[in-house]
Every structure is written in C-alpha cells, then in structure tokens.
Amino acid sequence: MSAMDDELPLTALAKPKKASYDDDLPLAKLTALAGVKKGGAGRPAGAKPSTAGPGKAKPKKDSSSSSGSSSSSDSSGSSSESGGKKKGLATKKKRLRLIQKKRKEQDEDGEDNADNKIKKKERNPKEQVVVDLLCRWWYAIPDWPPPDPAYYDDMLHKKSLRRVSIQEWEWVPEVDDKGRHKVYALSQFKGVFRKGDGEMVDIRPMDSCPSFNNFMKKDLPELYSMLVVAYEAQIKDLANSAYDEKVLEAQLKTGLTRIREKSHQANAMLFNTGATAKKQKTA
C-alpha cells in the first residue's frame, strides 16, 4: 500500500460512508454503484450460467462409478446371454431325448406287431382251423363241463368223496362211516370242489375239454365240419341279439362260405388218400 501523504486533510483519511440507496434510484445506477458489470441478472461478468435447477447443485460425474457400472452391466449382460444360451441348449437336448424315446417306443410297437403277424402266418391250416373253432366251440360241441349232477356224484364216489353243502359244513364230520371225506362245490366253477384242508378237486372230463391240444388230435376234415356247424349255429343265434348284427352277420356268412369250400377240399383230399391207400393194399 502506498504511503499516505502527510499533507492530506484528516477528512480524507476518514472511512467513507456507506452509500445510501434511494428507492427511486434506477437499477442501472445501483449496479454501477455496487461495482457489478453487466453479465446477467445477479451474476458477475464472465461467470458461466448454471444448468442446475434452483436450489440444486449440479452432480459431479464419477468416472470410476460409471466405468464400474458399465463394466458390471457388460458382465451381467454377457453372463445372462451365456446363461440363456445354456438354457436353450439344455431345452434342445431334452426335446431331442423325448423325440428319440418316442421313436424307440414306436419301433418297439412295430416290432411287436410284426411278431404277432409273423406268428399268425406261421400257423398251418390245421392250427388256424383250431384257433377259429376255439372262438365258438360252444356252438359245435355239447355243453362242457357236463351239467348232469349224477356224473359228478359218481366221480366223487370213485374218489371216496362226498358232497356237502356250505350250510351243513360245520355240523357234519370230516369223514363219514364209509370213509369218505367231505367236499363242497365251487359255484363259479362247475365240477370243481374243495376239501376241508383247502385242496382243490377237479373232476371235470378233461378228455372232452375244448382245448387246443384236444382239438389238434382230430383230423382236419372233422375240424372243418365242426367249424361249419359252429358258424351256422352262430349266424342263427344272431337273431336273439338285442342289437343290430348286420355287419357281423355278413362277416360270418362270408367266412362260412370260405370254410365250406375248404371243408369240401379236405374231404376230397381224404377220399383220394383213402382210395390210393386201398389200391396199394389190393395191388
């Protein structure tokens, strides 16, 4: 600070009084008196205008946080993308396994059906006639087992057994004075009985049982004749049905015509074979 002149009056050394502003003083003069240059309303010259709103400070940009957030977003994006790819790949594999399993099941079903068809084709004519006869045997032979009670009483007597009803089972002795054990009949299986110890007694005539083995013992012409009788009786029995059996009737009539032709051929073959054998004996 420059040295003060000794010749200055005391009034000049005194502090200047604060400027008093009149309410009627223009705004331009007040600005000039305050030493503020024109640079915007209430803003010194050279000051940059603030972009922040009133009462808010402009946030500083954190380069580290922005870079971290961008890297984390990139990593999360890449991880989610890789996770989506893995999930899609797992779904494709699962779908492929299901398709392969379905194809395998279809192949197995096809093989089973093929096996069934092969087995059917492997039957010789006699076996096929027996199979067709077993489907309708009750139209071709008498009732089996026999419905006559006398037949079973006679068979029980031969086996030293006696029939006892369920009502009197607990009141009669196990063995009577003739040495015959008691048995009771099974109502659901005619000709089958059970003893007191639980042993089952089957006295049905097995030699006349309509089974595959018993039918195979017969000659082919006889089997064809029995099958013709079975078809004719089945067609006749359709009249007693409560339903419309026109389709089945047509199928049976077609089958009957075919069986009659085969029966005629079998009888002719048997006749020719017998005639040939007779000639050979007489020769």
Q: Is residue 80 in some structural domain?
A: no
Partnered with residue 202 across adjacent β-strands are 192
Domain count, the chain: 3
Q: Is residue 218 in some structural domain?
A: yes
Q: What was the pLDDT predicted at 97?
A: 85
- C-beta separation of 224 from 263 below 8 A: yes
Longest dimension (CA), the chain: 189
Q: Is residue 232 in some structural domain?
A: yes
Residue 73 has which token pair? 């977003």
* Average pLDDT estimate for 172-183: 94
Nearest residue to 142 (alpha-carbon basis) of 233, 218, 220: 233
Last residue of a domain, one of 182, 206, 230: 206
Q: Is residue 35 in some structural domain?
A: no
229 and 199 share one domain: no
Q: Is residue 17 in some structural domain?
A: no
Q: What was the pLDDT predicted at 231?
A: 97
Q: What was the pLDDT predicted at 1?
A: 47
Q: Is residue 48 in some structural domain?
A: no
Q: What was the pLDDT predicted at 49?
A: 52
198 and 167 share one domain: yes
Q: What was the pLDDT predicted at 32?
A: 64
Q: Is the pLDDT at 247 greater than 50, yes or no?
A: yes
- C-beta separation of 142 from 160 below 8 A: no
Last residue of a domain, one of 160, 181, 206: 206
Q: Is residue 238 in some structural domain?
A: yes
Q: What was the pLDDT predicted at 76?
A: 54
Q: What was the pLDDT predicted at 96?
A: 86
225 and 197 share one domain: no
pLDDT tens digit sequence for 50-70: 554 455 555 555 555 555 555
Q: Is residue 19 in some structural domain?
A: no
217 and 274 share one domain: yes
pTM (2 d.p.) = 0.54
* Average pLDDT estimate for 16-34: 60
Amino acid (1-letter code) at residue 13: L
Distance, CA of 218 to CA of 233 (rounded, Å): 21
By mean pLDDT, which of 28-32, 96-100, 172-176, 252-256 is the weakest?
28-32
Last residue of a domain, one of 161, 180, 206: 206
Q: Which domain covers residue 181, as residue numbers?
A: 145-206
